Structure 1
Amino acid sequence: MTAHPYDLAPEPLGYDAVLLASFGGPEGQDDVIPFLRNVTRGRGVPEERLEEVAHHYRAHGGVSPINAQNRALKAALEAELARRGLDLPVIWGNRNWDPYFPDALRAARDAGHRRLLALVTAAYTSYSGVGQYLEDFDTALDETGLRDELEIAKIREYFDHPGFIAPFAEGVRDALDRIAAEKPGASTHVLFVTHSIPTAAAAASGPEFGEGGAYVAQHLAAAEAVLREAGTTDAAWSLVYQSRSGAPQIPWLEPDVNDAIDGLAASGVDALVIVPLGFVSDHMEVVWDLDTEAIETAEGHGILAIRVPTPGTHPAFIAGLVDLIVERLEDVPVEERPHLTDLGPWPDLPSQGAGAPAVLAR
C-alpha cells in the first residue's frame, strides 16, 4: 500500500451527532449574486464574472439543486441510522449558504451534543474538499465561542469505498447496455469527469502520489474500480475535467470535457458514457456543465452521449456512508476498513475543538 503523509489518528469513542457538511447553494433569484460573492470571497473576482456564472443558476429559477439534494441525503442518512438502531441525529451545515456552519454548531450545542462526526459531501483529497472544510470548522468554533465545548472529527475521504463506487458502476453498465441497444457497433468511450482545480493545488494534495498529487491519483484509481465493478475493464476511457474558473494565466487540470469530446469525435468515437465521478449529487455543475454544455457538444458531433447518475441517495451510497460513520464509532482497525483501490483506506485526521488548536490538512 502507498505510504500516506499522516497516520490514522487514534480517537476515543463517544460521538453523539453527525455534521453533514456541504457547499450550499442559492434558493432563489435574489440569492444568486450574494451566494457567488460568498463562494469567491477574497479572490478579487469582478462582478461581471459573477454575472457570467449567475446565468447558470438563473436559467434554473435561481435555485441550485444542491440544497434539496442535501435535504434528501440528510433524511436518507437519518432513516438508515434509525434502521440500524443508531441514535445519532444529523445536523446539516454549509460553507456558502444557509444553514451556515456556525448555526449548525450552535444547534448541536443547544441539543446537548459535544462530539460531532463531520461527513463532507466531497469524496477526494484537495484543499477545497478537505483543508478548507477544516478551516471552516475551525473558524466556526472560534466565531461561536464553542472550541472548548465541541469536538469535530472528519470522516475519511471515501473515493474508493464500495458504497461510493457501486452507483457509478451500475450507471456505467446501464449506459453501455443502452448504447448497445440504440447504436449497435458504436465506437464507445467512457469519460470520467471531475472538477478541475489549479495544477499547483492538485500537486499540493499529495506530491508523493506523482503528477497531479493525491487528487488525480484517487480519481484514476476510482475510475479503474468503477470499470472493474461494472465488469468492463476493456472499455476505452479517460479522465477529464470541468468547471474551470480563475485567471487564465494560472494552469488548471486539463483536458476540459468539451475539448475532449471534440478530440474523440475527430478520432471516430460516436458514443459516450459520461461519468460525473467527482460529484456525489446532481448539483448545478453537473446539470449545467454536463447535462447542458457537454451533451450539446456531443450532439453537435452526432455522438450519442449518456450521462451516468451521481450517487445521490442510492441505497448503496447511503449504506456506505453509514458504514463510514460506524467505522469511527467502533474504531474499526485500518485493515478491516473497506476500500476498492490500492490507495485506500484513506486515513482519518485528528479532530478539532474541545480546546485543541486547529489541525489543517491538504
Structure 2
Amino acid sequence: MSYDALVLVSFGGPERPDDVMPFLHNVTRGRNVPPERLAEVAEHYQHFGGVSPINQQCRDLLAAIQADFAANGLDLPVYWGNRNWHPMLADTVARMRDDGVRRALAFVTSAYGGYSSCRQYQEDIAAARAAVGPDAPVIDKLRQFHDHPGFVEPHAEAVRSALDTIDPALRGRTRLIFTAHSIPNSMAAAAGPDGGRYEAQLAETARLVAAAAAPDLPYDLVWQSRSGPPQVPWLEPDVNDHLSALAEREVAAVVVSPIGFVSDHLEVVWDLDTEAAATAKDLGLVFVRAGTPGVHPRFVSMVRELVDERIHQDERIHQDERIHRPETGSRQRLGTLPIWDTCPVNCCTPAISAPATSPRSTT
C-alpha cells in the first residue's frame, strides 16, 4: 500500500507556566475532574518551571526520525501533532492536507494496547480528520510495539547501565522494578477479544527486558501515577507501596525501569525521580532509575522498520471482523502475544466508572 507521509502523534504538554492549566483542562475535558486535583497536578508542572519535557522530546525524536529516513533512503515527510497541546493534531492534519498528503501512517508515543494507550489515539486521529473535513488525508496507525527489539533493547541497555552504578556487594540484595501507568481495573478488563491486553503486554515486556538485562535478578511489575477517586480500584501495587514492602524484606537496592514509557517526561521525572526516589531514601534503599528509549538509535530505527513493515506486508484481512490476522512471519517481534494492525470496533472500550485518562497521563 502506498503512503506519502508519517505523522508522529503524542500527548503534548505545557511549555510555559501560563500553559499549565489550559493544558490540563484539555486533558480532562468532560471528565469532571475536581479543581483541587487539577491544582495538585499543576504544582507538579510548576516544580519544573511550568514546562513539560515531552514536547522537546518529540522535537528531538522527530529530527532523529527524519535523519534516519534520509540516511536509509526512505523519502517520506514527517509531521508532528499532539492530543492535548500545540501543535494540535487537527492543525497538523490540515497542514498535511494543504501539502498534498493523501494517505499517511501514524506513529504514536505509546507501545501498548488499551484505551488511553491505543484506542484513544485512534479516536483523536478520527476527530482531527473530521475537523479538517472530507479532504483530510487517510491516516493509518502503526501497530503496537511492546515486544519489538527496537523498544526492548534500549530498555535492557538502560537497565544494565543502571545496574553498573550499584555496588557489586549489593547484587544479591538488588531487585528490578518495572513500572507503568496504572489504570482503573475496569479499563484493564475492557481489552477486546484477547482480554487484559495492557497488563499482558507489559508483563511480556518486563520479562523480555529482564531476560536481556539481568536474568539472575528477581523483578516485579508495579504501577505508578494513579489518579481518580479513591473508591475506584486501580491496578496495584503502587511503586511507593512496593518499595516499602521490599525494604521490609531486606532488599538493599532497586533499579526502577519505566517500561510503560518511551521518554523521560513528567510522570518519570516527578513520579519516579522525585516521589519514588524520596520514598526509597526514607527507607534506606539504594535507588537507581533506568533510562527510557528517547532517541536511542535502535528505537529510532524501529520507527522506520514499522513503516517498512506496513508498506510491504501481505495484508490478509479477516472479512468478518475486519482485523488483520495476528501473524508474525514478516515482523520483528520478541514476544508471542497476538497483535493487530486494525482492531475491531469493540476493542479496549473505555471504563465507565472512572475517567478514561489521568490528568497526568502522557503515554
Matched, 1:202 2:202: no
Corresponding residue number in structure 1 for 2:358:
none
Taking only the aligned residue pairs, the percentage that are identical comes to 52
Higher mean displacement: 279-288 or 186-195: 186-195
Task: State the Cα distance separating 1:330 from its structure 2 match.
Answer: 1.6
Matched, 1:79 2:73: no
Corresponding residue number in structure 1 for 2:341:
348
Runs (5+) with no aligned partner, structure 1: 1-12, 351-357
Task: State the Cα distance separating 1:233 from its structure 2 match.
Answer: 2.1
Corresponding residue number in structure 2 for 1:307:
289
Cα 1:245–1:359 change in 2 (3 A) is: same
Corresponding residue number in structure 2 for 1:228:
211
Q: Which residue identity does 1:49 align to in structure 2?
A: R
Corresponding residue number in structure 1 for 2:280:
298
Is the Cα–Cα contact under 8 Å of residues 3 and 311 in structure 2 kept in the other structure? yes
Structure 1 counterpart of 2:243, from 255, 261, 267: 261
Corresponding residue number in structure 1 for 2:355:
none
Matched, 1:214 2:197: yes
Matched, 1:281 2:263: yes
Matched, 1:337 2:331: yes
- What secondary structure, in the 3-state scheme, does the structure 2 residue paired with 1:335 have? coil
- What secondary structure, in the 3-state scheme, does the structure 2 residue paired with 1:25 have? coil
Task: State the Cα distance separating 1:206 from its structure 2 match.
Answer: 3.9
Is the Cα–Cα contact under 8 Å of residues 21 and 119 in structure 1 kept in the other structure? yes
Number of positions where the alignment pairs a residue of Structure 1 with one of Structure 2: 336
Corresponding residue number in structure 2 for 1:16:
4
Task: State the Cα distance separating 1:341 from its structure 2 match.
Answer: 0.9
Corresponding residue number in structure 2 for 1:4:
none
Q: TM-score, normalised by structure 1?
A: 0.90
Q: Which residue identity does 1:187 align to in structure 2?
A: R
RMSD: 1.6
Task: State the Cα distance separating 1:25 from its structure 2 match.
Answer: 0.2
Task: State the Cα distance separating 1:313 from its structure 2 match.
Answer: 0.2
Partner Cα separation in structure 1 for residue 300 and residue 136 of structure 2:
29
Corresponding residue number in structure 1 for 2:54:
66
Q: Which residue identity does 1:245 align to in structure 2?
A: S
Structure 1 counterpart of 2:161, from 163, 168, 174: 174
Partner Cα separation in structure 1 for residue 202 and residue 125 of structure 2:
26
Q: Which residue identity does 1:123 align to in structure 2?
A: A
Q: TM-score, normalised by structure 2?
A: 0.89
- What secondary structure, in the 3-state scheme, does the structure 2 residue paired with 1:51 have? helix
Q: Which residue identity does 1:66 align to in structure 2?
A: I
Partner Cα separation in structure 2 for residue 129 and residue 301 of structure 1:
33
Runs (5+) with no aligned partner, structure 2: 316-327, 349-363
Runs of 4+ in 1 over 3 A off after TM superposition: 183-186, 206-209, 358-361
Task: State the Cα distance separating 1:186 from its structure 2 match.
Answer: 4.9
- What secondary structure, in the 3-state scheme, does the structure 2 residue paired with 1:74 have? helix
Q: 1:25-44: CA deviations, max 9, x gaps?
A: 00110000110111111111
- What secondary structure, in the 3-state scheme, does the structure 2 residue paired with 1:109 have? helix
Partner Cα separation in structure 1 for residue 42 and residue 271 of structure 2:
13
Partner Cα separation in structure 1 for residue 221 and residue 12 of structure 2:
26
Is the Cα–Cα contact under 8 Å of residues 186 and 271 in structure 1 kept in the other structure? no
Q: 1:236-262: CA deviations, max 9, x gaps?
A: 111100111111111100000000001
- What secondary structure, in the 3-state scheme, does the structure 2 residue paired with 1:179 have? coil
Task: State the Cα distance separating 1:137 from its structure 2 match.
Answer: 1.2
Task: State the Cα distance separating 1:145 from its structure 2 match.
Answer: 0.8
Is the Cα–Cα contact under 8 Å of residues 170 and 252 in structure 2 kept in the other structure? no
Corresponding residue number in structure 2 for 1:150:
137
Q: Which residue identity does 2:39 align to in structure 1?
A: E
Corresponding residue number in structure 1 for 2:307:
325
Corresponding residue number in structure 1 for 2:319:
none
Corresponding residue number in structure 2 for 1:355:
none
1:87-126 maps to which residues of 2 (within 5 A)? Answer: 87-126=75-114
Partner Cα separation in structure 2 for residue 339 and residue 55 of structure 1:
40
Matched, 1:45 2:39: no
Partner Cα separation in structure 1 for residue 171 and residue 182 of structure 2:
32
Is the Cα–Cα contact under 8 Å of residues 242 and 257 in structure 1 kept in the other structure? yes
Partner Cα separation in structure 2 for residue 134 and residue 317 of structure 1:
22
Task: State the Cα distance separating 1:58 from its structure 2 match.
Answer: 0.2
Task: State the Cα distance separating 1:140 from its structure 2 match.
Answer: 1.2
Corresponding residue number in structure 1 for 2:126:
138
